[in-house]
Amino acid sequence: MSGLGAAELTVLALGALLVGIAKTAIGGVGAISVALFAAVLPARESSGALLPLLIVGDLFAVHAYRRHVDWPALLRLFPSVAAGVLVGAVFVAGVDDTAMRRTIGGLLLAVVAVHLWQRRRRRRAAAEAGSAGVPPRPAGRWVAFCYGLLAGFTTMVANAGGAVMSLYLLAAGYAMLTFLGTAAWFFLIVNLFKVPFSAGLGLITADSLALNAALLPALLLGAVIGRAGVKRLDQRKFERLVLAFTVVASLNLLR
C-alpha cells in the first residue's frame, strides 16, 4: 500500500468519492468503485481495502434515510445473504483474481438481463389490463432467496453486492427514498457481518486501514455530493442510472 504513486492514489480517491455518492444517491455507482480499486490493487487486496470505506458510507446513508426502510423485505433476505457470504468466503479462499472478477461480471449481467425481461413482462401485463403502471409488490420467497444468495456471494467476493441489491429493489418497485433507505440498512448490517471473514482471510490489514484513513476525506465529499444531488433525480432517471452503471461495471469485471 505504501508504494502507491500519485496516479494510483488519485484513482483510489476517485473510487472513494464514488462510494460516498453511491451510498447517498445512486447505488449502481458503487460498482465502478469496485472496478477502480481492482484496477490499482490486486482483486483480493482491493476487496479488503474497500470494505471499511463502504461501512463508513453505510453509516452516512443510514443517517440520511433511516426512516425510509422496508424491514419485512430485509428480513426475507438476510438468511440467504448469510449463506451467500459463507459460500463467497470459501470461493475467495480457493480462486485467483481473474476468476473472481469474471464470475462476478457474468453473474451481474445475467441479473440485469433477467430484471429487464421481468420489467418488460410487467409493463405488457399492465397495458393489457388497461393500467398505467404496476404497483410495488414484495418479491416472492424464492425470488428473495435467489437475490439474497447472490447478493451475499457477490458482496463477499468483490464488494459488488450493491448491484444485485439495486436490481432486487428495482424489481420490487420501490420509490427512490425507500430504495435508498432499505439498501442503506441492508449493507450496513451485511458489511459489518463480513468483517470477521475478511479479516480472517487477510484482506483487512494495518496497511489497508491506513489507506482507508487517507481516502476518508474523498468519501465524505462524495456523500455530500450524493445527498445534494439525489433531490434533483426523478424516479425514471434514477432507475436508468442504476442499470447503466451496473452494466458498465459488469463489463469491466469481465476483462
Tens digit of pLDDT at every position of the chain (255 positions) = 557 788 889 999 999 998 888 888 776 677 778 778 877 887 778 888 888 999 999 998 898 888 888 888 888 888 898 899 899 888 888 877 777 767 767 776 776 776 677 667 667 766 665 544 444 455 567 777 888 888 888 778 777 777 677 777 777 777 778 888 888 898 899 889 889 988 888 888 888 899 999 999 999 999 888 888 776 766 677 667 767 777 776 776 677
Segments forming the whole domain that contains residue 16: 6-253
> Among 145, 176, 218, which residue's Cα sits nearest to residue 28?
176
**Residue 110 corresponds to which cell in the numbers above?**
445475467
User: 157, 164, 162, 148: which is closest to 194 by C-alpha?
Assistant: 157
Distance CA 114, CA 116 (A): 6
CB 11 within 8 A of CB 40: yes
Which grid coordinates are listed for 154? 457477490
In this structure, is residue 105 part of a structural domain? yes
pLDDT, residue 155, reads 79
Q: Which spans in 67-205 are helix H?
A: 71-94, 97-128, 141-158, 161-172, 176-200
Residue 14 lies in a domain: yes
Among 19, 9, 14, 88, CA closest to 53: 19
Q: How far apart (Å, rounded) are the C-alpha atoms in residues 239 and 244?
A: 9
The reply to whether 1 falls in a domain is no
pTM of the model: 0.74
What is the number of structural domains in the chain? 1
Is 152 domain-assigned?
Answer: yes
Indicate whether 86 belongs to any domain.
yes
In Å, how far are 67, 75, 177 from 70, measured between CA atoms?
9, 9, 11
Question: What count of other Cβ atoms lies within 10 Å of the Cβ of residue 153?
Answer: 27
Alpha carbons within 13 angstroms on the beta-carbon side of residue 71 total 2
- pLDDT of res. 13: 93
